[in-house]
Amino acid sequence: MELEQHANAYRAPSPLPLEFDADGDLVASSLLPHLTPPAAAILAYLQAQYKSPKLFSSLPAALSHPIPIPNHLLLPFVDMDTDGLFIMDTFTPPFMDAVLSHVQSYRRYLAGRTSTSNVLRTLDIRHVPGFTWINDFLFQFISRPLTVLLFPKVPPLDWFQGYIISYNTSEAIPAEATSTRTSLPEHTDDSETTINLCLSPATAFDGGELVVGETRGVGGEEEECGFELKQGAVIMHAGRRVHSVSEVTGGERHVLIQWARSKAFRRENCPCCFLSGREGECICGPKWF
Ligand SMILES: [Fe+2]
């Protein structure tokens, strides 16, 4: 059975304390109590601008005519202390616990119905029932406006995809449910910017730092730094930064990753040559565009 059919067939009640209207759209005001105060101020502003309780159903229009979020609302929200890495404390921990419980229940449901183990260790958010709104929210609320502010050379973003990625030590794996990934080697992302939202409480795992190093192809002078994730906080970095996840030595670590791209940027820059810092003529050909 296809994943979309599984999602349609899943009938368990969602533990998420949110309100959805008859069309299945999230009522934006029901999210407000689950955000930190600076995040709630931004959502309240967007709600007032859109003049609709259905904030996220207007996404296609918002992509062609985005409403800019004023810097005086964005700046108190962003921890700018780090070198090209930005941290936004966004969701309350109890809400992240509810999100994780929902995702894990659905994974257990899927585990008995699909033989594709990759589905379980890297779960596309589009396939999690009752949860697709978070992709739109993170894109409109964080990836797009903060890329304008923090990475001004990148044209407006207009593409995104999100996944939940899980790490377990072998003792912690509920055999039927999740993955055997314990770390992630150094790599760059095929994205203009990447955000990383930690769903797990810090007490749920040991190790598992996000380690971020130089900007690939640039020979940047950034020092390699390890970051302990905080439940409910989003970390944003350029996809071109070399990064990895250190060994998880205990417990389970669940994160939501969203890649965001700009089609205009990719029409002008071959992503492969750009990542590798190759100057001049593209050596890759049109398949990369
Ligand atoms: Fe990555």
**Angstrom distance (rounded) from CA 71 to CA 154:** 17
What is the average per-residue pLDDT within 268-285?
Answer: 64
pLDDT at res. 104: 85
DSSP state of 2: -
Q: Are strands 184-187 and 225-227 parallel, antiparallel or unpaired?
A: unpaired
Q: What is the DSSP string of 154-212?
A: SPPP-EEEEEEEEEE-GGG--TTTS-----EEEE--SSSEEEEEE-S-GGGEEE--EEE
**Angstrom distance (rounded) from CA 83 to CA 200:** 25
Tokens linked to 182: 């314990």
Residue 278 lies in a domain: no
pLDDT at res. 247: 93
From the CA of 243, how far away is ligand 1's center (Å)?
6
From the CA of 210, how far away is ligand 1's center (Å)?
10
Among residues 210, 194, 234, which one has the least CA distance to residue 89?
A: 234
Residue 61 lies in a domain: no
From the CA of 187, how far away is ligand 1's center (Å)?
6
Q: 234: domain CATH number?
A: 2.60.120.620
Residue 219 lies in a domain: yes
Please state whether the predicted TM-score (pTM) of the whole model is above 0.85: yes
Residue 246 lies in a domain: yes
Structural domain boundaries enclosing 173: 79-266
Query: Quick check: 181 and 216 in contact, CB under 8 A?
Result: no
Among residues 148, 160, 153, which one has the least CA distance to residue 69?
A: 148
Residue 197 lies in a domain: yes
Kindly report, residue by residue over 126-181, the tens digit of the pLDDT. 888 888 889 888 998 899 889 988 888 888 898 999 999 988 875 544 554 445 68
Residue 11 lies in a domain: no
Domain count, the chain: 1
Residue 124 lies in a domain: yes
Conformational region of residue 156, where left means phi above 0, alpha means psi within -120 to 50, and beta covers everything else: beta
From the CA of 189, how far away is ligand 1's center (Å)?
5
Range in 58-62, 84-88, 203-207 with the lowest mean pLDDT: 58-62
pLDDT at res. 105: 85
Residue 209 lies in a domain: yes
Q: What Cα–Cα distance (Å) separates residue 250 from each residue in 168, 171, 173, 182?
A: 7, 8, 11, 9
From the CA of 13, how far away is ligand 1's center (Å)?
32
Tokens linked to 69: 């979020």
From the CA of 166, how far away is ligand 1's center (Å)?
13
